[in-house]
Amino acid sequence: LGLSGPPGAGKSTFIECFGKMLTERNHKVAVLAVDPSSSTSGGSLLGDKTRMTELSRDMNAYIRPSPTSGTLGGVTRTTNEAILLCEGGGYDVVLVETVGVGQSEFAVADMVDMFILLLPPAGGDELQGIKRGIIEMADLVAINKADGDLVVPARRIQAEYVSAMKLLRKRSKVWRPKV
């Protein structure tokens, strides 16, 4: 599964919860978390693993943070190979978290079985902020943080994306993207 979304959408938190659910059901889960690299120093914080404390201690989980090292598209130049290595190593679920998105961080969509766009319910002009390119590639749009005071905005964003998805050309004859 490839996961992308704007910074602050809760990608790492979602992966932590989803990954724990999968390991509790006896799946072996690999997480490939991609962080942006500094154009000045070339360094990267690789902080996603620190936000997945429970999952990082789980013996049925493997978390590998990697810097983009200047690669565009939200992944590293070796992400596809890393997915294959994880599968070969016995991990039956591989989650790839891309860097935070703008318009074109969806290269992972061609590497995975399902591409999930994770969105927060209250980020301003959502349809303007997440452009057509990434929406067209999404197999699933998940509105995250949809509880408490954010239930109503989440429902509104869901309705906006359901309408927007109807206008897009279908990528598959058998799957209609869900919101």
For residue 176, being part of any structural domain is answered with no
**CATH number of 90's domain:** 3.40.50.300
Beta-bridge mates of residue 3: 97, 116
Of 1, 6, 2, which Cα lies nearest the Cα of 119? Answer: 6
Confidence (pLDDT) at 39: 47
For residue 104, being part of any structural domain is answered with yes
Beta-bridge mates of residue 32: 64, 96
For residue 175, being part of any structural domain is answered with no
d(CA 62, CA 83): 12
List the domain range (segments joined by +) for residue 68.
Answer: 1-165
Give the chain's domain count.
1
Q: Which percentage of the chain shows pLDDT scores above 70?
A: 77
Whether residue 45 has pLDDT greater than 90: no
For residue 133, being part of any structural domain is answered with yes
Backbone angles phi, psi at 88, to 5 degrees: -65, -30
Beta-bridge mates of residue 178: 140
For residue 47, being part of any structural domain is answered with yes
For residue 153, being part of any structural domain is answered with yes
The average confidence (pLDDT) of the chain is: 82
Q: Give the contacts of 91 (CB within 8 A, at least 6 positions apart).
A: 28, 29, 30, 62
- For the whole model, what pTM was predicted? 0.84
d(CA 136, CA 138): 6
Element (H, E) at 65: strand 61-67
Region for residue 124 given its phi and psi (left: phi exceeds 0; alpha: psi -120 to 50; beta: otherwise): left
For residue 177, being part of any structural domain is answered with no
For residue 49, being part of any structural domain is answered with yes
Q: Give the contacts of 150 (CB within 8 A, at least 6 positions apart).
A: 121, 122
Whether residue 124 has pLDDT greater than 70: no
Whether residue 125 has pLDDT greater than 60: no
Report pLDDT digits (tens) over 127-136.
Answer: 444 556 778 8
Residue range 71-98: average pLDDT?
A: 85
